[in-house]
Amino acid sequence: MTAPVESGSVEQGSGSGAGQARDAEVRVGAQRAEAVAAGEAVRCDSAGLWFAAAPPEGAVVLDVLLDGAHVWSFRPDRDLVTKDSGRLAPWPGPLRQYLDGVATITVQARPGGEKVMERECAFGRKFNRIKVVDKHGHPLVIDKWGRLERPLSAEPAALVTSLMSNVARLLDDLRDGCGVPAFLVYGTLLGAVRDGKLIGYDNDVDLGYLSGHEHPVDIAREGFRVQRELVRRGWVVRRGSGGRLNVRLRMPDATMRFIDVFTCFWVEDTFYIPADVWGPLPREAVLPLGSVELMGVELPAPADPKALLAATYGPSWRVPDPSFRYETPLGLQRRLVGWFGGLMPGRKHWDGYYGRRAGQALPPASAFAGWVAEREGEDRAARLVDLGCGRGQDALALAEPYRPVLGVDYSLGALGQARSRAASEEVAAEFEPVNFAELRSAVALGARLARDPLERVLYARFLLGSLDDVGRENLWRMVAMALRGGGRLYVEFRAVDPGAAAKQVDKPLVPAVVAAAITAAGGRVTHREKRHGLAPDQDDNPLVCRMAAEWPAR
């Protein structure tokens, strides 16, 4: 893509791709020379926004708007990097894919709203107006994690009303059903106290409940009890750690919204909200709970919400800052991971991966699925469990009237797509979530399968390499439990290939190490092959290993 530049006016180019490319090259050279000659304080190109001088004094945050739509905010004192030709605010990676066309770029300061720059800018080879929107035309904005998200400010009133109804109901269920005092925290409390509204550039809702315990083990046990009760009451819940839940809401327009539920607690005189709040806070700042109005709804809040907001965001919490990021101390990170673990490795990647494929046709079943079907033959009076099933194409292909199939995966979005396909095709396959990063989840699956009266066949295609060391350890423990009474395992994974570029998401593994893990889990490898051509994918033909193993019946 040709580098973008500022432009005072943009002429329409010729209709052909070659003509547009020539036009783009001409305008790049002429307009860049014009911008440099003008000696402007801020200019933009494909790298980002270049500052020839310091931003206005007192500018805490700079907002970036494209044709009047807010898409990004950054802090000049934190996010500007020094380059040879000045100080640069690099374009966030997810935003770069949209920068091909024309837009009026406005940079304005917070607080005060002073315009630092406003110019018509031409990017790449196209001449259309740039719109940073999702496939449905909804505006997107870069959130504090650097992801493009649909902000609450873009939601219609009816959807916000539905969201608030769910928030109120969940708070009631936490209080009445789970027996824990629940209230607004983080950005949701911040918006309520500031002006009684949801923060427009936020994209989820934050709730907390106060644990009645101080020891981390008891706090985590209570959290699992709360999770079970919420599920019993019909909520769709994922666990992020021993101290954090995530409730997923299917909205009336079929989009997903999320409510994070954090466990709040004291250990001695230190108050914690995983994973970013810790410090001295008097108990009377939280209890007895008060209330605050949010979007016209009265909701529970800490007794002194301003004290909690100061502990969360610091003394400048009253100043809106869309660029805010938590700078969590390393010691606090280690302490909370030690107490409650971290159960979300890779979750954002896989949710995004399958979210981008929602609505697309399922790919055909893999060659590995066909290979396993041939080895299993016609006598299929066994339960086949597809571990890491993704969107379920292999599980659906392997499902037969005489073989129950269960698909498990980390991504709820992928499982939803698999269930929809199974229902539309009337295939007798079930799908459910399992997180191998969480030992509790892994051993629960293993224990259930161990009690299954049917023989078990476990199937894992490209799962081993997508797990970290802890996830693989939990997987092998589950396998040992599930197949203790007999059964078979089939695995396919990328093998270490010294000549291959290390670009794939799944980690290449040493076949001998995998075989040793199978043996340690009580199995015996009955087939092993390693070669290219087993799982080619477009221009990628990795070195792949296949293994089959069996466990003796007892």
262 lies in the same domain as 168:
yes
337 lies in the same domain as 356:
no
66-70, 148-152, 279-283, 469-473: which has the minimum mean pLDDT?
Answer: 148-152
Domain at 77, CATH number: 2.60.40
In a domain, 146, yes or no: no
191 lies in the same domain as 85:
no
Predicted local distance difference test score (pLDDT) of residue 173: 98
Average pLDDT, the chain: 87
Question: Which of 84, 101, 132 is the last residue before a domain boundary?
Answer: 132
364 lies in the same domain as 504:
yes
For residue 313, pLDDT over 80 is answered with yes
116 backbone dihedrals φ, ψ, rounded to 5°: -90, -30
Domain at 202, CATH number: 3.30.460
For residue 36, pLDDT over 50 is answered with no
Predicted local distance difference test score (pLDDT) of residue 34: 54
220 lies in the same domain as 362:
no
In a domain, 143, yes or no: no
Domain at 471, CATH number: 3.40.50.150
pLDDT tier at 379 (50, 70, 90 boundaries)?
A: low
Query: Averaged over 317-341, what is the pLDDT?
Result: 86
The residues with which 221 forms a beta bridge, in sequence order, are none
In a domain, 422, yes or no: yes
Strand residue runs (E) in 124-235: 141-142, 148-149, 182-184, 205-210
Number of domains in the chain: 3
Predicted local distance difference test score (pLDDT) of residue 324: 84
Helix spans in 173-215 (H): 186-195
46 lies in the same domain as 66:
yes
More confident: 252 or 391? 391
- CA dist 225 and 227 (Å) reads 5
Helix spans in 426-525 (H): 439-450, 469-482, 511-520
- CA dist 293 and 281 (Å) reads 23
Instruction: List, in order, residues 6 or more apart from 98 with CB less than 8 Å away.
Output: 130, 131, 132
In a domain, 24, yes or no: yes
pLDDT tier at 5 (50, 70, 90 boundaries)?
A: very low
Question: Which of 299, 314, 344 is the last residue before a domain boundary?
Answer: 344
- C-beta separation of 19 from 132 below 8 A: no
Question: Which run of H or E residues covers position 492?
Answer: strand 487-494
Q: In percent, how much of the chain has pLDDT > 90?
A: 55
Domain that holds residue 52: 5-132
Percent composition of the chain: helix, strand, coil (DSSP 3-state, to 5)? 35, 30, 40
Q: What would the pLDDT profile of 180-239 be if each residue is shown by its tens digit?
A: 999 999 999 999 999 999 987 788 899 999 999 999 999 999 999 999 999 999 999 988
For residue 116, pLDDT over 70 is answered with yes
106 lies in the same domain as 161:
no
pTM: 0.73
In a domain, 44, yes or no: yes
In a domain, 386, yes or no: yes
More confident: 177 or 200? 177
In a domain, 145, yes or no: no
Q: What would the pLDDT profile of 230-262 be if each residue is shown by its tens digit?
A: 999 999 998 888 999 999 998 888 788 899 999
pLDDT tier at 7 (50, 70, 90 boundaries)?
A: very low
306 lies in the same domain as 354:
no
320 lies in the same domain as 424:
no
Question: Which of 344, 377, 396 is the last residue before a domain boundary?
Answer: 344
Sign of CA dihedral 191, 196, 198, 199: negative
Q: What would the pLDDT profile of 447-489 be if each residue is shown by its tens digit?
A: 999 999 999 999 999 999 999 999 999 999 999 999 999 999 9
424 lies in the same domain as 355:
yes
Strand residue runs (E) in 222-309: 236-241, 244-250, 256-267, 270-273, 277-280, 290-294, 297-301
Q: How many CA atoms lie within 13 A of 97 on its CB side?
A: 9
pLDDT tier at 502 (50, 70, 90 boundaries)?
A: low
14-23, 181-190, 192-201, 424-433: which has the minimum mean pLDDT?
Answer: 14-23
116 lies in the same domain as 221:
no
Residue type, 224: F
354 lies in the same domain as 475:
yes
Predicted local distance difference test score (pLDDT) of residue 13: 41
Q: Residue 543: which of 503, 499, 482, 481 has the closest Cα? A: 499
In a domain, 123, yes or no: yes
